[in-house]
């Protein structure tokens, strides 16, 4: 995907595997590699033909989408969350937690690809913090 179709916009989702280092340290790198592969498959199942899923860093992935509006982006995020719930319900040796930041590319905010990626990264880290707080509340309850 080099340019969106006419009447469509570029959007992206940055995905981080929460506590990936803990999985590697406690269950070993073989399980860590399995987590990466399972996450890639889960993300691929959640997106449409033509969307791009790429590993971005150690435990991060980026999904590039061409959407008509924000509702399409929200739909993809919802599919990822449903796939994640289904995956965790299967009783694997680990529970997979994902944090996601998503947005439409905005020429006013994103003067460069680096600006766009920085905004995605900040949104993903905000989601990561929110997820940690929610899991901590569940442990206390």
What are the residue numbers of the active site? 59
Burial profile 83-102: b = 16 or more Cβ within 10 angstroms, e = fewer: bbeebeeeeeebebbbbbbb
Exposed / middle / buried, residue 121 (Cβ in 10 Å: 0-12, 13-18, 19+): middle
Is residue 9 within 8 A of residue 69, CB to CB? The reply is yes
Bridge partners (DSSP) listed for residue 9: 67
| Rounded Cα–Cα distance for residues 59 and 51 (Å) | 20
For residue 20, give both structure tokens.
Answer: 């990936």
Residue with tokens 């179709």: 5
Q: Which of 136, 138, 106 is nearest to 123 (CA)?
A: 106
Bridge partners (DSSP) listed for residue 65: 11
């Amino acid at each position: 995907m080099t340019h969106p179709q006419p009447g469509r916009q570029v959007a992206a989702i940055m995905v981080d595997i929460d506590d990936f280092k803990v999985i590697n340290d406690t269950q070993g790198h073989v399980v860590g590699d399995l987590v990466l592969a399972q996450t890639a498959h889960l993300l691929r199942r959640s997106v449409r033909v033509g969307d791009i899923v790429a590993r971005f860093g150690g435990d991060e992935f980026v999904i590039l989408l061409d959407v008509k509006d924000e509702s399409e982006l929200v739909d993809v995020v919802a599919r990822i969350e449903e796939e994640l719930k289904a995956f965790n319900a299967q009783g694997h040796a680990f529970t997979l937690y994902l944090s996601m930041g998503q947005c439409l590319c905005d020429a006013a905010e994103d003067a460069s690809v680096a600006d766009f990626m920085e905004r995605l990264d900040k949104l993903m880290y905000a989601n990561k913090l929110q997820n940690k707080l929610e899991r901590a509340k569940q442990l206390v309850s």
